[in-house]
């Protein structure tokens, strides 16, 4: 079966056609980095307008790339949240219109579930349950993925997401937006040992994250004038890696037996982070699975795949399904947010 996936929750407008046997027949991604760059971050109103302009022709082009018409698609899946609500609505309403016009099922996909299942699109051998580090621009969580739609959140960040910390540190170092990939490149030329930076929450019992203090320490290091930018970048990345590895070790001890250690989300595109996690998995005797770089950052293939997993279990959504700015994967964990995290 073939599903058309649509993604518009942040600043990439994307469409993809994916089949049950994990073939990406076609996919297109239009990044809006050029539009948001001058502002140093995503401007929601600009993003929504750009999605509204670009999405329909992008879908048409994706279908043309695959030599398909809408009639040959089995379902239409779109991100229904969480994300910037204007953009989410553009994608979801477009999907509703296509589903209605073609009389095909509509599947409202949680963007985070898209990230969380993307390793299953990349690797057919990945079985539930797996321990997932979900690290993106807006989220930093450790989840026990027990099955489709069955997530147990073991940890989250008590302040910034790691992608946010990468982007803000990159901004401090004058690297522009989006900063993550640029900071990673600069770190290659630096020596992490030259700049002392903190490892927030390292060693604490609960496997939560905190990156605000690390981000502030980067700012102080830069302002001191004592260090080279490349050394600061390398030290930031190394501190982040030390925190991730320490927290994941703790989470693995709490999670019970799992089939694999898995990473997903935009920050999972970072090669140094991938190698550190691969080494951790090897020490724990677990397979390590990470999607290819292009499936880590926002894309529509992961949304189509999450849609396929739902379609194959007979699930779809009504045409009045709502767009959701917030949509936690583990509602139980979200309910205790007031209690600290």
Does 299 carry a binding-site annotation? Answer: no
Number of neighbours of residue 5 by Cβ within 10 angstroms: 33
Nearest CB to Mg ion, comparing residues 11 and 229 = 11
Question: Would you say 51 is a known binding-site residue?
Answer: no
Return the number of the residue (81 or 105) whose C-beta is nearest ligand ATP.
Answer: 81
Min dist. Cβ of residue 151 to Mg ion (A): 23
Tell me the closest approach of the beta carbon of residue 275 to ligand ATP, in angstroms. 12
Least distance in angstroms from the C-beta of 238 to ligand ATP:
13
Of 18 and 134, which has the nearer Cβ to ligand ATP?
A: 134
Note whether 298 binds Fe ion by CB under 5 A: yes
- In angstroms, the CA 1 to CA 291 distance is 22
When CB distances are held under 5 to 8 angstroms depending on the partner's kind, the choice from ligand ATP, Mg ion, Fe ion, none that residue 96 binds is: none
Residue 136 annotated as lining a ligand binding site = yes
Q: Which of residues 8-47 bind Mg ion (CB under 5 A)?
A: 11
Residue carrying the six token digits 């194959």: 312
The residues facing 9 across adjacent strands are: none
- Residues in a beta bridge with 26: 17
Ligand-binding annotation for 298, yes or no, is yes
Between 246 and 298, whose beta carbon lies closer to ligand ATP?
A: 298
Count other Cβ atoms within 10 Å, centred on residue 29: 18
* Shortest-Cβ-distance residue relative to ligand ATP: 266
Question: Cβ 265 to Fe ion, closest distance in Å?
Answer: 6
| Residue 139 annotated in ligand binding | no
Give min distance, CB of 168 to ligand ATP, in A.
Answer: 9
Token pair belonging to 72: 């040959």
Residue 74 annotated as lining a ligand binding site: no
C-alpha distances in Å from residue 112, one per residue of 83, 93, 179, 236, 302? 10, 19, 21, 26, 10
Instruction: Specify whether the CB–CB gap between 175 and 186 falls below 8 A.
Output: yes
Interface residues with ligand ATP (CB under 6 A) are 10, 83, 111, 115, 136-139, 163, 166-167, 178-181, 184, 265-267, 269-270, 297-298
88 vs 103: CA distance, rounded Å: 22
* 103 assigned to a ligand binding site: no
Nearer to Mg ion, 11 or 160 (CB): 11
The CB-of-115 to Fe ion minimum distance in angstroms stands at 6
Tell me if 135 is assigned to a ligand binding site: yes
Q: Give every CB contact of residue 121 below 8 A, 6+ residues apart in sequence.
A: 18, 22, 291, 295, 301, 302, 305
Encode burial over 159-193: b for 16+ CB neighbours within 10 A, e otherwise: bbbbbbbbbbbbbbbebebbbbbbbbebbeebebe
Binding segment (CB under 5 A) for Mg ion, from list 5-13, 78-86, 96-104, 254-262: 5-13
Judged by phi (left if over 0) then psi (alpha if -120 to 50, else beta), residue 256 lies in: left
Task: Closer to ligand ATP by CB, 80 or 269: give it.
Answer: 269
The one segment of 122-130, 153-161, 167-175, 291-299 that binds Fe ion by CB under 5 A: 291-299
> Which residues fall within 8 angstroms of residue 109, CB to CB, at 6 or more apart?
5, 77, 78, 79, 80, 303, 306, 307, 310
Nearest residue (CB) to ligand ATP, 66 versus 304: 304
DSSP characters over 262-311? EEESGGGG-HHHHHHHHHHHHHTT--EE---HHHHSS-SHHHHHHHHHHH
Among 8, 136, 237, 299, binds Fe ion (CB under 5 A): 136
Binding site for Fe ion (CB under 5 A): 136, 298
Binding residues for substrate are 134-138, 167, 180, 184, 270
Binding residues for Fe cation are 111, 115, 298
């Amino acid at each position: 079966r073939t599903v058309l996936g649509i993604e518009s929750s942040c600043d990439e407008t994307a469409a993809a056609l994916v089949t049950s046997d994990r073939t990406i027949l076609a996919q297109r991604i239009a990044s809006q980095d050029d539009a948001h760059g001058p502002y140093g971050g995503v401007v929601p109103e600009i993003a929504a307008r750009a999605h509204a302009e670009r999405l329909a022709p992008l879908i048409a082009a994706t279908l043309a790339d695959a030599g398909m018409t809408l009639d040959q698609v089995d379902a239409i899946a779109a991100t229904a949240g969480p994300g910037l609500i204007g953009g989410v609505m553009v994608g979801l309403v477009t999907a509703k219109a296509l589903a209605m016009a073609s009389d095909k099922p509509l599947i409202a996909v949680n963007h985070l579930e898209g990230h969380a299942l993307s390793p299953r699109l990349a690797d057919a051998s990945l079985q539930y349950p797996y321990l997932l580090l979900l690290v993106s621009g807006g989220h930093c969580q450790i989840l026990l993925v027990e099955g489709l739609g069955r997530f147990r959140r073991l940890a989250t960040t008590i302040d910034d997401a790691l992608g946010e910390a990468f982007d803000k540190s990159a901004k401090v170092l004058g690297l522009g937006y989006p900063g993550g990939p640029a900071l990673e490149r600069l770190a290659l030329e630096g020596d992490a040992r030259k700049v002392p930076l903190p490892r927030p929450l390292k060693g604490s019992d609960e496997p939560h994250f905190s990156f605000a203090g690390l981000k502030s320490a980067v700012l102080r290091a830069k302002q001191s004038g004592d260090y080279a930018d490349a050394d600061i970048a390398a030290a930031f990345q190394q501190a982040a890696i030390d925190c991730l590895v320490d927290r994941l070790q703790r989470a693995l001890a709490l999670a019970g037996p799992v089939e694999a250690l898995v990473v997903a989300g935009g920050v999972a595109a970072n090669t140094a982070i991938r190698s550190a996690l691969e080494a951790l998995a090897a020490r724990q005797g677990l397979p390590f699975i990470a999607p290819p770089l292009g499936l880590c950052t926002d894309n529509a293939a992961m949304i189509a795949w999450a849609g396929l997993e739902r379609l194959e279990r007979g699930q779809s959504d009504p045409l009045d399904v709502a767009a959701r700015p917030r949509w936690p994967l583990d509602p139980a964990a979200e309910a205790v947010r007031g209690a600290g995290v």
